[in-house]
Structure 1
Amino acid sequence: MHLTPRSVHLQNALRLAVALAGARLLAGTLDLAHGVWVLLATLSLMRTSAADTRAAPAPALAGTVAGAAVAALTLYAAGDRPLFYALALPVVILVGFTLGPLLGPAWTQTAFTLASVLVFAQVSGPGWRLSEVRLLDVAVGGAAGALAALLAWPRGGRGELARDMADLLAEGAVACRTVTALLGDDRLQRDRSQGDPLQAARRAMHLAEASFAQYLTERTRRNRPEPHWEAALATGRTIVHGAELLLMTHQEGLREPLPPGPAAALTGLAGQVAQEVLRAADTLRGSGQREPRTTVSRYPAEDSGPLRRAADRHGIGDAHVLLVVDAEAWLTGVAHDAVRTRSAPPRTEVPATRRAEPPRVRVRGAGSGGLRP
């Protein structure tokens, strides 16, 4: 599913592979004494965007300098006493990496540098040049990681987010029509050549979720309006998860086709909802007009053609009544989220630590029963 250049997971894998290959080449070319530290520095300093990677080396180098200074003093004071280094190592690891998440990356690098020097002091013998080597390796590894981040997908998750969200809504619009047609026609249900009607939308949803999750972890350096990504993702999830629930719940009812009247009413409603979703996708791409803010669905239950036809009960059984009600609730819930995506006010980027958590997945109805949160 993620074997595509548009997947942030694949982008991260390729970016890291290039960085590690470059770091290994530099370590071999410069004939560094402990080249593995170059690779470890690249792993620890690499971030998913160029902005984040540029911000990482400063505290890392500061922590490395502090750790190298403490290590040099320790080596000078302790001398050739392997037992001292063996006893000090677990204490440094326990204290350093326990407090690291609380005190920040500079403290973590300090502890890591000191622990590395204590390890190699037992393996290859103590010497003050271990601190110098560690400092040089971190600088080389950080440079390799920063260069790779600048060259390979420097925008990180934000670079793919708008396109992934728009593609999710576009595929979701197709799924609205396809699933509604499947619900109303038993011949399509029996025709296995159609395949999974939600495969493309589900794949687009996973790509969009990955981009959004990475976007939330990245630092923001500019304050500018942002679309309401949570509303867009909620629209796609409502489409995919609601359709899955419908197909699973009404498998028995799909054995017989809906009467022509309710089937045509559902098909018409699905077409209108799909247009709403496509307009929301155009808004995310920047080619659509943002509406005045509103969260009121354009398809109230009292004006629903499918519900009126189901209420008449002319030639329609109980199973089909429930199918129509649930399908109408699903489609109007999708329309509600799509309108909210288009009319949501632009948001301003904030640092990742200040962003609110995304909303929980919900499948809405339109006050007509059927699907529930």
Structure 2
Amino acid sequence: MALAAAIGFYLFRYGLDSPVAATYALFGAVALGGLSRIPGTGRQRAASMLRVLPVCWVLVVVGTCLSVRTWSAVAGMLAVGFALAFSAVAGPRPAGVAPGLQLLYILPSFPPYDPGSLDERLLGATTGLVLLMATEALVFPEPSPTPYRERAARAARTAADCARALTVPPYALKAQDRSAAEEAGRGLRSLMVPEAERPAGPGVRVRALAHTGLAVRTLLHRLAWLTAPPGAQEREVAAVLHTVADLATATAECLRAGTSPVGPYTQLSSARAALSALSAGTSAPQAAPRSGFTPTVLRRHAAVLEIADAALAMGAAADRAVHGRHAEVEVTPERFWYATVPAPVLWWHRLRGHAGRRSVFFQNAVRIALALTAARLVAGLDTLPHGFWAMLATLSLTRTTLEATRHTIRLALTGTLAGALLTAATLTLVGTHTNVYAVLLPLWMLFAFTVGPVRGVGWAQGLFTVLVALVFAQLAPSTWQLAEVRMLDVLIGSTIGAVFGLLAWPRGAHDEMRRAAAELLRTAAEVVVATTSSVAGGAATIVPTAAPGRRSLHHALVLAESAYAQFQSEPTTLTGAGRGYPASVDWQATLIAGQHTLWGSERLVAPPATVLPAAAARTAEALGERMAGRMLLVSAALDPGGDTPPTPVPRIDPVHPEFGAEPVGAPRRYYAVIEWLESLAADLTRISRGASPRAAADTGADARSGAGASQKHD
């Protein structure tokens, strides 16, 4: 940053005698290099900057054209501010670059209102950004992290080894194999993957890559906890496990070399169908099931078929992650709904899903857009000198919660005051000797850009106060009063940020996390009831009762996951203690419960449908209703907007005698439902016990909760 900003500034200020271009070169580098938080290595950040360079040009042009009138500048600030902040829904890179783009729009929105200097502004901004890209890519290069595709390929290889180990006595994984499977699955968790490598965009390939990672994790969990058979392993079970290993190997090759896994996928589909027919006692889908297998064997058949489902999802998703819409593996349109949808529709789907007041992305965009608009209005009506600084303070100091904003402002004002005093002393002593400022500026840049991010917002504001004084003292004669103006601007900007932090969702994601989790569990309860009713009723009710609820659950998951992501970054002082809220809730376990509900429902209602005997149907429906009731109890305790005061989360016991019910003649499909409901009970137990997020994620690999650890992501 120091190299790019200094070279650009001195090139135009003293080499080409263009103060306008010099200003834009410096602040262009500061915008995307300092204010933005673009994830990745230097080369990855440079690539991200190159992609948004045309956007930077548009922002400078629009800001220049709208700055002639205060009303147009204010209206533009509202629209552009919201759009840039809301772009965070597209993933970590757009979210990281958005603050810098805001600054590039704010800069031309202030005096001098000179559209005739647009060419100098564009030239300066472009030069500063190009210099920043060059320094990011070439100075102190960093090693590239392991791509997500390679991580998924390695995990698929581990899954192949585990599946092969299950085909030989004792037909269960050893402790070290189980540990390797859990470690490989843990390596695909978002918290373990660098932000720049996370598949988080709305496109087909990115969605499919995220789907691949989730399916691999599910497969590893199921393989790790598959129990040994009571006797010799059936030939059909061994065939499924062999073909699972083959498909996992082919998936790894697909992710690395681009070879479609269509052959092993077809073989596993056939092997799975054979085992399903064996478990049902017939090859005809609608025939009555056979009761010759013991419940233990049927439970194991259900577990092996779930392994096959996870492997099939993994192979199909990997094919789409590599080949996009040209993938060769044929899939059902519901699970891979995004596979044939045009890219603009996928983007619209993502934006529409978050265009509501329950989305934290929407809340953040509204908050910052209104704050910046108010700051621009105040600066325009009062002709605030250097009003740009006031808007910069609003942009850089406003946080997602009032508590965080207040704490940040206190530190920032303290640092700014110290920086203003140092600035006043420097300007008084040096006077108009610009050569002194020219010598000090690059040294101070290096010091400020190094120490500021390390020491915190107070140091950053104080050091930046001195930096801008050294810059503006070289552009025009300056006195100690420049420090006074800087202090006034930061005070006004931070006050505006605090006001809107108070008015617009002051608790950030803390209340929203509770609302989203409560809504997620309410929707999951509806899906549980609809799914168990569909399975109990057979093919006649299988499609119309479950699909709409799963779509609602999918949307609830998207909102809950975004709220959780913001919740993780906010201060822990507002956990709800003292307001009647549960002080310790494992929110990630809530998300896992929603994921397990969605994935398990899709799996259980997939054809062919087996009609359950009357006793098994009654038991399955009763268990589904009881599980839904437990979900609603937890939901009511979490909801901050309910009719009753918040209460402690009730403790849910994962071991219930009814899960051991074995109705006479119950087929494998019945035991698949029981396994699913048991996994949901385990998820609810972790919520009520308030385990740590890491513990929740890691224990999600147990025998039953691992049966649904994947999800259909937005």
Common fold by TM > 0.5: yes
Determine helix, strand or coil for the equivalent of 2:354.
coil
- In structure 2, give the amino acid aligned to 1:256: A
- The residue correspondences of 1:42-61 to structure 2 (distance < 5 A) are 42-61=394-413
- Tell me the equivalent position of 1:209: 561
Match for 1:268 among 622, 628, 637?
Answer: 622
In structure 2, the CA distance between the partners of 1:59 and 1:369, relative to structure 1 (3 Å rule), is: closer
- In structure 1, give the amino acid aligned to 2:399: R
- Tell me the equivalent position of 2:599: 244
Shift of 1:267: 2.5
Please list every run of 5 or more consecutive structure 1 residues that lacks an aligned counterpart in the other structure.
348-354
- Tell me the equivalent position of 1:4: 356
- Tell me the equivalent position of 1:304: 660
Confirm or deny that 1:198 pairs with 2:550: yes
- In structure 1, give the amino acid aligned to 2:361: H
**Mean Cα displacement is larger for which, 195-204 or 362-371?**
362-371
User: Does the aligned pair in 1 maintain the 2:405–2:497 contact within 8 Å?
Assistant: yes
TM-score of the aligned structures, taking structure 2 as reference length: 0.44
Confirm or deny that 1:140 pairs with 2:492: yes
Shift of 1:205: 2.5
CA distance in 2, matches of 1:365, 1:188: 32
In structure 2, the CA distance between the partners of 1:274 and 1:295, relative to structure 1 (3 Å rule), is: closer
- Tell me the equivalent position of 2:607: 254
User: Does the aligned pair in 2 maintain the 1:165–1:233 contact within 8 Å?
Assistant: no
**Mean Cα displacement is larger for which, 67-76 or 12-21?**
67-76
Confirm or deny that 1:284 pairs with 2:638: yes
- Tell me the equivalent position of 2:17: none
CA distance in 2, matches of 1:341, 1:38: 44
- Greater RCO, 1 or 2 (C-alpha within 8 Å, sep 6+): 1
Deviation per residue, 1:137-161 (Å, 9 max, x gap): 1011011111112222223222323
Determine helix, strand or coil for the equivalent of 2:595.
helix
Shift of 1:183: 4.7
CA distance in 1, matches of 2:704, 2:546: 32
Deviation per residue, 1:66-96 (Å, 9 max, x gap): 1122223333344434454344333323322
CA distance in 2, matches of 1:276, 1:8: 27
CA distance in 2, matches of 1:176, 1:229: 26
User: Does the aligned pair in 2 maintain the 1:176–1:270 contact within 8 Å?
Assistant: yes
Please list every run of 5 or more consecutive structure 2 residues that lacks an aligned counterpart in the other structure.
1-352
Shift of 1:361: 6.9
- Equivalent residues, number: 349
Match for 1:166 among 515, 518, 521?
Answer: 518
Shift of 1:326: 3.7
CA distance in 2, matches of 1:327, 1:90: 67
Confirm or deny that 1:25 pairs with 2:382: no
Deviation per residue, 1:221-243 (Å, 9 max, x gap): 68536426643541342232453
Shift of 1:166: 1.4
User: Does the aligned pair in 2 maintain the 1:246–1:326 contact within 8 Å?
Assistant: no
Determine helix, strand or coil for the equivalent of 1:131.
helix
Deviation per residue, 1:114-163 (Å, 9 max, x gap): 22222222233443222121111101101111111222222322232332
In structure 2, the CA distance between the partners of 1:356 and 1:61, relative to structure 1 (3 Å rule), is: farther
- Tell me the equivalent position of 2:449: 97
In structure 2, the CA distance between the partners of 1:91 and 1:327, relative to structure 1 (3 Å rule), is: farther
Determine helix, strand or coil for the equivalent of 1:259.
coil
Shift of 1:203: 2.0
User: Does the aligned pair in 2 maintain the 1:238–1:362 contact within 8 Å?
Assistant: no
CA distance in 1, matches of 2:526, 2:509: 25
User: Does the aligned pair in 2 maintain the 1:16–1:46 contact within 8 Å?
Assistant: yes
Shift of 1:101: 3.4
What is the Cα-based RMSD across aligned positions, in Å? 3.5
In structure 2, the CA distance between the partners of 1:356 and 1:279, relative to structure 1 (3 Å rule), is: closer
CA distance in 1, matches of 2:706, 2:596: 17
TM-score of the aligned structures, taking structure 1 as reference length: 0.79
Deviation per residue, 1:306-358 (Å, 9 max, x gap): xx24xx6x484xxxx2x44443222112123324544x47x9xxxxxxx9768
User: Does the aligned pair in 2 maintain the 1:280–1:288 contact within 8 Å?
Assistant: no
User: Does the aligned pair in 1 maintain the 2:581–2:648 contact within 8 Å?
Assistant: no
User: Does the aligned pair in 1 maintain the 2:653–2:681 contact within 8 Å?
Assistant: no
Deviation per residue, 1:22-73 (Å, 9 max, x gap): 1111111221221111100001221222232222222111111111222233
Shift of 1:172: 1.0
CA distance in 2, matches of 1:338, 1:304: 19
Deviation per residue, 1:186-223 (Å, 9 max, x gap): 345566x9645422122223323333443441352685
User: Does the aligned pair in 1 maintain the 2:356–2:362 contact within 8 Å?
Assistant: yes
Shift of 1:366: 6.4
Shift of 1:369: 9.0
- Tell me the equivalent position of 2:81: none
Confirm or deny that 1:70 pairs with 2:422: yes
In structure 2, the CA distance between the partners of 1:93 and 1:263, relative to structure 1 (3 Å rule), is: farther
CA distance in 2, matches of 1:30, 1:368: 61
Confirm or deny that 1:338 pairs with 2:697: no
User: Does the aligned pair in 2 maintain the 1:279–1:288 contact within 8 Å?
Assistant: no
In structure 2, the CA distance between the partners of 1:260 and 1:287, relative to structure 1 (3 Å rule), is: farther
User: Does the aligned pair in 1 maintain the 2:679–2:706 contact within 8 Å?
Assistant: no
Determine helix, strand or coil for the equivalent of 1:127.
coil
Determine helix, strand or coil for the equivalent of 1:360.
helix
Determine helix, strand or coil for the equivalent of 1:255.
coil
In structure 2, the CA distance between the partners of 1:335 and 1:357, relative to structure 1 (3 Å rule), is: closer
CA distance in 2, matches of 1:357, 1:70: 46
Match for 1:360 among 675, 685, 697?
Answer: 697
User: Does the aligned pair in 2 maintain the 1:175–1:239 contact within 8 Å?
Assistant: no
- The residue correspondences of 1:213-224 to structure 2 (distance < 5 A) are 213-216=565-568, 217-218=570-571, 220=573, 223-224=577-578
User: Does the aligned pair in 2 maintain the 1:89–1:119 contact within 8 Å?
Assistant: yes
CA distance in 2, matches of 1:291, 1:30: 52
CA distance in 2, matches of 1:99, 1:324: 62
